[in-house]
Structures are given as structure tokens and as C-alpha cells.
Amino acid sequence: GRRDHMAIDELLDEREQGERVKAWLRDNALGLVGGLVVGILLIGGWQYWQRKTHGEAVAQHAAYQTALLDIRSGDFDKAQATLAGLPDTVYSELAALQLAKAQVEKGERDAAIKTLEAVKGTEPGVAAVVEQRLARLLTDAGRGEDAVKLLAGADDAVSLEARGDAHFALKQIEQAREDYAQALRKLDSAAPQRGLVELKLSEVGGMPDESEVES
């Protein structure tokens, strides 16, 4: 199957790497035996590295699950401590999103802002969600300028709408209108959030009918 094919590809890669090392060593008068030894060491090292990274991923997943259990039980401090011990990976980012959501639901908005501000954003897809949620919390906290700055490079509908909300909160009506109109152009005609964005655009004096969907 595909898994076997991938394993063969990896083995060929290892062999090829070993052969290159042996050839280099032969050229440098260390002989075939030395080349074989180093080739074996290289392959062994690669396999060790694979086991190590797999072990790290398993450990990170376990820490993520522990953090989720702490969040569900309401022990946010313990969850925060677990998060602090995790490297910047998708697990730490997802856990931070879950913790921030729980904090908001408990009325701890400022704590949620700090949780999301601590996220480094190594996974582009998750980082975008973190930014959007953080921007909405910042706007809610009266920090619209920070939200606008955070979403300065926005080019997707959700981020543009969030930036429009920040501009609206700052009474920057022209910029809000522009963001909402751009957000509508990015949305499919059947997108469920179109109605809300159209309503927001109308509130700032825009004309939803003029915002054609991008092809």
C-alpha cells in the first residue's frame, strides 16, 4: 500500500545518503570500511531522530489532552502552566484557543486576551484564527487601535469583518465601510455570514448590492 511505498522511499533515501557519505570518505582516503561505519551511523542517527520526534509529538499531544481536561474542570491556572511547558506547536495554539474561549465564557476577557497574546503562531491556519479572536476581544476591551494593527494585513473575509468592527468601534466609519465591502466581495454568494456583513455594511452607509462576489 501507500505506507509501504513511503517506507521504501525513505529506505532508498537513507541508502542514497549512506552511499554519498561512503563515496566522500573513499575520496578522502578513509576507505570503504570507514565509509560503511559512518553510513550505518548516519542511518541509525536518522532513525533515532524519527523516534525522538515521534516521541515528542506523543508527549505534546498528551500535554494538550491534560490541558483540555484542566480547562473543562475550570482549573485555568493548571492549564496555563501546562501550556507554558509546551513548545510552540499546533497543540499549544489549539489549547490556547480553548483556554481563551473558556476564560471568555467565565467573564475573564482580559485573561483571555493575555492567553492569546502569548501565542507565537507557528501554524498559519491556526494563527489566523488566534488573530481574529484576539482582535475581537481587543475591540470589546476598547482597544480598537490594537485590533486594527493586529489585522493590518487582513485579506480574508473573517479578518476583514473583524477589522471593520474595530474601525466601527473607533468611529472610523469610512474605513469600516471599506472593510465590510471587501469582506463581502470575498464571501461566496451562499455563505451564511453574508447577511450579517451586509447588515453591518448598511449600518455604515454602504450598499450591499454594489459589493459583487469575487470570481
pLDDT of residue 53: 67
**141 and 116 in contact (C-beta within 8 Å)?**
no
Distances, alpha carbon 175 to alpha carbons 10, 154, 160, 163, 180, in Å: 53, 13, 11, 9, 9
pLDDT of residue 146: 96
Of the pLDDT bands very low, low, confident and very high (cuts 50, 70, 90), residue 25 is low
pLDDT of residue 21: 60
pLDDT digits 0-9 by tens, 29-81: 544 555 555 555 666 655 655 666 666 777 778 888 888 888 888 889 888 88
**180 and 161 in contact (C-beta within 8 Å)?**
yes
pLDDT digits 0-9 by tens, 175-207: 999 999 999 999 888 888 888 999 999 999 877
User: CA dihedral in degrees (69, 74, 78, 84; nearest 10)?
Assistant: 80
Rounded to the nearest integer, the mean pLDDT of the chain is 79
82-96, 147-161, 191-205: segment of lowest average pLDDT:
82-96
pLDDT digits 0-9 by tens, 100-143: 999 999 999 999 999 999 888 767 778 888 999 999 999 999 99
- Copy the grid coordinates of residue 142: 476598547
pLDDT of residue 121: 72
pLDDT of residue 215: 40
pLDDT of residue 3: 46
- The 10 Å Cβ neighbour count of residue 32 is 11
pLDDT of residue 6: 47
pLDDT of residue 179: 95
- Copy the grid coordinates of residue 62: 498528551
Give the CB-side neighbour count of residue 194, counting CA atoms within 13 A: 14
pLDDT of residue 159: 93
Task: Compare 7 and 50 and report the one with higher pLDDT.
Answer: 50
The one-letter code for the residue type at 39 is G
Q: Is the pLDDT of residue 28 over 70?
A: no
pLDDT of residue 65: 86
pLDDT of residue 213: 47
